[in-house]
């Protein structure tokens, strides 16, 4: 760990997104994760020089025996500037700033890339530019790879009115525990932190997240999901149905951000159209509750 890390260039919150969902790094950075030298993830036989796996072009593959051979679009290498495995991890379950795509239908993933490329789904800071430079064949190969993976529990959802005091770090825009300790009111937020900041920074797919949510969120979310008949499209256990994606076990922060995107128009496309009138009626507390409940479900 290193103290007094300078904050990155200021980011802005996309229209319609509350700041807690987007994780704008705090200007004051009381500490940060510093990855240097040769690093190794627990239980892995692989070792990497930290500088070789920094950035988005060459993600580490800590546990190659846990997945089939991955295409170049996922693993990175020569000619690849943005490797899918850098944000989505080789497991597909992703850091909180990306979306969990492990086991999601290949057709759904291909369609989302097409929406990003056309601008129907807007993310000018990340996925839009990536989609525009990714060939249809690379997108297809990556989608088939991630669709073949079996998701596992990657987030622990905890209801509390007083989560640990946190700040938003520059590293990956993840919340971290504040070195001063103590707690803070949760208010109308989802507070999500890595289980282990160092392992998250080295992209260890065995190290997930903790999501603190307001008391009563799980029961309220369950009632809203059942009243909304989500199972009719997403399957009885919400683990996906045909080309419709899995909701169960997704990180609450990821789900909330997607629902806000749908509500405010930055996420569109054929599959989103039926959702828009439903999400338009959701309050911010409804979105928090639904996201919390879905995150608490077993993904497989």
Q: Which helix (H) or strand (E) holds 31?
A: strand 31-32
Q: What whole-number distance in Å separates Cα of residue 213 and Cα of residue 106? A: 31
Considering the domain architecture, whether residues 161 and 124 belong to the same structural domain is answered as no
Considering the domain architecture, whether residues 288 and 159 belong to the same structural domain is answered as yes
Considering the domain architecture, whether residues 143 and 157 belong to the same structural domain is answered as no
Q: pLDDT of 11-41, one tens digit each? A: 677 766 888 998 888 889 999 888 999 999 9
Q: Positive or negative CA dihedral for 187, 189, 190, 193?
A: negative
201-226 mean pLDDT: 97
Considering the domain architecture, whether residues 74 and 136 belong to the same structural domain is answered as yes
pLDDT at 270 over 70: no
CA distances, 4 to each of 29, 31, 135, 168, 176 (Å): 6, 6, 41, 14, 14
Considering the domain architecture, whether residues 287 and 157 belong to the same structural domain is answered as yes
Q: E strands of 151-287, at which residues?
A: 155-159, 166-168, 175-177, 191-194, 209-213
234-239 mean pLDDT: 95
Give the count of domains, the chain: 2
Q: What whole-number distance in Å separates Cα of residue 259 and Cα of residue 265? A: 10
Considering the domain architecture, whether residues 135 and 188 belong to the same structural domain is answered as no
Q: pLDDT of 96-144, one tens digit each? A: 989 999 999 999 999 999 999 988 888 877 898 999 999 999 999 999 9
CA atoms within 13 A on the CB side of 48: 19
Domain boundary pick from 112, 147, 182: 147
Q: Hey, is 229 helix, strand or coil?
A: coil
**How far, rounded to the nearest angstrom, does the alpha carbon of residue 249 sit from its chain's CA centroid?**
11
Considering the domain architecture, whether residues 176 and 256 belong to the same structural domain is answered as yes
For residue 203, is it within any domain? yes
For residue 25, is it within any domain? no
**Cβ–Cβ < 8 Å for 300, 249:** yes
Q: What whole-number distance in Å separates Cα of residue 62 and Cα of residue 89? A: 10
194-228 burial: b if 16+ Cβ within 10 Å, else e: bebbbbbbbbbbbbbbbbbbbeebbebbbebbeeb
Q: Positive or negative CA dihedral for 137, 141, 144, 150?
A: negative
Considering the domain architecture, whether residues 262 and 223 belong to the same structural domain is answered as yes
The domain that holds 268 is classified in CATH as 1.10.760.10
For residue 277, is it within any domain? yes
47-59 mean pLDDT: 93
For residue 230, is it within any domain? yes
Q: Specify the pLDDT at position 7.
A: 34
Considering the domain architecture, whether residues 265 and 172 belong to the same structural domain is answered as yes
For residue 73, is it within any domain? yes
Q: Specify the pLDDT at position 4.
A: 34
For residue 108, is it within any domain? yes
Considering the domain architecture, whether residues 157 and 95 belong to the same structural domain is answered as no
* Structural domain boundaries, residue 239: 153-296
48-59 mean pLDDT: 93
Q: Which two tokens stand for residue 176?
A: 């971290």
**Which residue, 256, 264, 254, 287, is CA-closest to 97?**
254
For residue 249, is it within any domain? yes
Considering the domain architecture, whether residues 171 and 274 belong to the same structural domain is answered as yes
Instruction: Report the chain's mean pLDDT, rounded to a whole number.
Output: 91
Domain boundary pick from 124, 147, 170: 147
For residue 159, is it within any domain? yes
pLDDT at 239 over 80: yes
CA distances, 124 to each of 21, 74, 127, 297 (Å): 17, 21, 7, 31
**Which residue, 40, 104, 126, is CA-closest to 249?**
104
Residues 6+ apart with CB under 8 A from 137: none
């Amino acid at each position: 760990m290193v103290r007094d890390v300078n904050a990155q260039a200021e980011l802005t919150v996309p229209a319609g997104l509350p700041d807690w969902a987007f994780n704008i790094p705090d200007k004051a950075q009381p500490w940060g994760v510093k990855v240097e030298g040769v690093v190794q993830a627990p239980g892995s036989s692989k070792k990497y020089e930290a500088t070789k796996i920094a950035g988005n072009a060459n993600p580490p593959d800590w546990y190659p025996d846990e997945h089939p051979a991955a295409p170049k679009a996922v693993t990175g290498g020569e000619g690849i500037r943005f490797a899918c495995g850098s944000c989505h991890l080789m497991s597909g379950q992703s850091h909180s700033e990306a979306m969990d795509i492990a086991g999601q239908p290949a057709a759904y993933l291909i369609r989302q890339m097409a929406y990003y490329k056309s601008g129907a789904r807007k993310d000018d800071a990340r996925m839009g530019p990536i989609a525009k430079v990714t060939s249809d064949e690379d997108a297809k190969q990556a989608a088939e790879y991630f669709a073949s993976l079996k998701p596992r529990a990657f987030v622990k959802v905890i209801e509390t009115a007083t989560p640990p005091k946190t700040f938003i770090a520059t590293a990956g825009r993840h919340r971290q525990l504040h070195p001063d300790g103590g707690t803070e009111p949760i208010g109308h937020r989802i507070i999500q932190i890595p289980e282990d900041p160092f392992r998250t920074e080295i992209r260890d797919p065995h190290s997930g997240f903790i999501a603190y949510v307001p008391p009563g969120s799980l029961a309220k979310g369950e009632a809203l999901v059942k009243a909304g008949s989500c199972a009719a499209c997403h399957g009885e256990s919400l683990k996906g149905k045909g080309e419709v994606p899995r909701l169960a076990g997704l990180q609450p922060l990821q789900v909330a951000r997607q629902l806000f995107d749908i509500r405010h128009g930055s996420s569109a496309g054929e599959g989103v159209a039926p959702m828009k009138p439903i999400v338009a009626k959701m309050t911010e507390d409804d979105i928090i509750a639904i996201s919390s409940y879905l995150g608490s479900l077993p993904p497989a």
